Amino acid sequence: MVFISTQEKSQLNNMIENADLIFTLSHIFQLLGWAFLPLLMLPIMYFLFSKNQFLKSLSFGIVSTIDTFNYYIGEIVKWLLPLMVLTISFSIFALSIFGKSWTKLFETSEYFHASVIMLGAASTLLAGKHVRVDIFYSKMNNISRSLVEIIGFYSLLLPVCIIILWNSQSFVRSSWMILEGSSEIDGIKGEFLLKTLIPIFSVLMIIQGLSISLRAVMYILRHEKPLLPLNFDDTFINENSFK
């Protein structure tokens, strides 16, 4: 016989109710993902039907929307970094001098750290600040660089992010079901939110990669490209140095 207290029983009931809701939600998200999947073929379609006006304006809109979106996400989450410096410093002095231990405060900095990485990565991709081995790359002309971007997106970035996205389903779902919290007693009860950052990261990276490969196709076809957001003038194509 297993003894279950009434409190645990109500928790268990809650969990089962939650489970239904979360399963439904995760199915909805999955369906949304399938629905948007064909959009990933857009760069290829654009290349094949380069005369099609609809594709042209659609791509133009998508690229500028994605770039603006990710740019502003980056501009917002970057402020978490100075906040992180302040919260950690504050919690050090509070703990070592006044003996006040605010686990919650220290853990907020963990949330800041994770959010900066997972949400800022796409903005970094947009800015072209992810490191490359540029022994040969620096000698390539802009057409080859554009091709590297397109091939890289379809054969490297996209599969990786889709695998991470697909495999994170059960990881995130099981965390949401118990609304997982910190392992510390007085910690923040939001670990499920932290874990959700992983699929969000994949989605942001996929759409940013899509936008960059669309830009690359536009470059190859010598079509007009949307302007880059402020402060971001050095993505993969260096307009000023034709070689």
Closest separation in Å from C-beta 187 to another protein: 12
Distance from C-alpha of 212 to C-alpha of 147, rounded to nearest angstrom: 11
Q: Which is nearer to another protein, 58 or 110 (CB)?
A: 110
Closer to another protein by CB, 58 or 140: give it: 140
Q: How far is the CB of 46 from another protein (least distance, A)?
A: 20
Contact 124, 82 (CB under 8 A): no
CB nearer to another protein: give 39 or 88: 88
Please, which residue, 13 or 141, has the CB nearer to another protein?
Answer: 141
Q: CB of residue 157 vs another protein: minimum separation in angstroms?
A: 5
Q: Tell me, what DSSP letter sits at residue 194?
A: H
CA dihedral 131, 155, 210, 124 (to 10 degrees): -10
CB-nearer residue toward another protein: 134 or 224: 134
Cα separation values, 87 from 83, 156, 161, 186, Å: 6, 37, 32, 17
Q: Closest approach of Cβ 11 to another protein, in Å?
A: 24
CA distance 21 to 64: 35
For 23, what's the count of Cα atoms within 13 Å in the CB-facing half-sphere?
Answer: 6
Q: Are 207 and 122 in contact (CB under 8 A)?
A: yes
Q: How far is the CB of 123 from another protein (least distance, A)?
A: 7
Are the C-beta atoms of residues 235 and 128 closer than 8 Å to each other? Answer: yes
Question: Where on the chain is the footprint of another protein (CB under 8 A)?
Answer: 74-75, 77-79, 81-82, 84-86, 88-89, 92-93, 96-100, 109-110, 113-114, 116-118, 120-121, 123-125, 127, 129-137, 140, 145, 148-149, 151-152, 155-157, 159-160, 163-164, 167-168, 170-172, 194-195, 197-198, 231
